[in-house]
């Protein structure tokens, strides 16, 4: 079955620690995205990538980094510079240029908590 | 004014009722519109796109009013399984940064 896999489902981070969230898709989608969701708020765009080896900052990129070395993979690193990282992180993909017509496919999310 | 606004609810209605909620958007150049459904602690899933002429999918009807800049979702004969948060999504341009998610309307269907 085609889809997006995010791991881990739950992640606990200590103060000052970097952590990496995995996102893999086998939908052959060109574009991939990372969103953050906080309680009672809409999804906010962290980073997106429309093609391999290229990515752009979204609205809240500070304290995060990404890479896109393979079409299937778009890992997100939450660095120690991100002061309030506790949130639900969602990875999504779409056929490039077609998110306007077909929307996104989302992974099941990673819930990150700072301990 | 927020770019995309939704009544957060919760809407609490009996099974079988008809329920409708709106979503307003501020960017008059917005090009496409969607409703997503999100269950508690799960990822959003695309419910339906919203077309200019309005569209229906079973018990769900979506409409767009460009003049007043809002979209609506109508659910007829509501089921217990319709309980979820409904997210309005507005695409204001060709870049991913122009896709704006509303904060969602929570719907609870009671037996």
pLDDT tens-place string over residues B43-79: 999 999 998 888 999 999 999 999 999 999 999 999 9
Contact A26, B88 (CB under 8 A): no
Average pLDDT of span B8-32: 92
pLDDT attached to residue A1 = 64
Average pLDDT of span A35-62: 92
Put simply, whether A27 touches B (Cβ < 8 Å) is: no
* Tokens 């609506």, residue located: B72
Distances (CA, A) of A101 to A17, B42, B79, B89: 39, 23, 28, 12
pLDDT attached to residue A96 = 65
Average pLDDT of span A15-42: 92
Closest residue in B to A50 (Cα) is B96
Question: Could you tell me what percent of chain B has a pLDDT over 70?
Answer: 95
Contact A96, A50 (CB under 8 A): yes
Residue of B46, B94, B103 lying closest to A103 (CB–CB)? B46
pLDDT at A99 over 60: no
């Amino acid at each position: 079955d085609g889809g997006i896999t995010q791991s881990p489902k739950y992640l606990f981070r200590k103060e000052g620690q970097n952590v990496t969230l995995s996102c893999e898709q086998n939908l052959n989608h060109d574009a991939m995205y990372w969103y953050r969701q906080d309680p009672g708020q809409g999804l906010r765009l962290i980073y997106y990538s429309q093609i391999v080896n290229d990515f752009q900052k979204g609205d809240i990129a500070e304290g995060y980094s990404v890479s896109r070395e393979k079409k299937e993979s778009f890992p997100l690193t939450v660095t120690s510079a991100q002061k309030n990282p506790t949130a639900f992180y969602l990875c999504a993909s779409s056929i490039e240029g077609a998110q306007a017509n077909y929307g996104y496919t989302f992974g099941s999310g990673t819930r990150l908590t700072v301990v | 004014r927020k770019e995309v606004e939704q009544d957060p609810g919760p809407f609490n209605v009996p099974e079988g009722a008809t329920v409708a909620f709106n979503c307003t958007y501020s960017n008059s150049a917005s090009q496409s519109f969607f409703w997503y459904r999100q269950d508690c602690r799960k990822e959003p899933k695309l419910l339906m796109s919203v077309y200019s002429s309005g569209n229906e999918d079973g018990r769900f009807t979506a409409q767009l009013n460009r003049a007043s800049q809002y979209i609506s979702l109508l659910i007829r004969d509501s089921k217990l399984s319709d309980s979820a948060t409904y997210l309005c999504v507005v695409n204001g341009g060709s870049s991913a940064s122009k896709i704006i998610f509303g904060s969602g309307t929570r719907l609870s269907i009671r037996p």
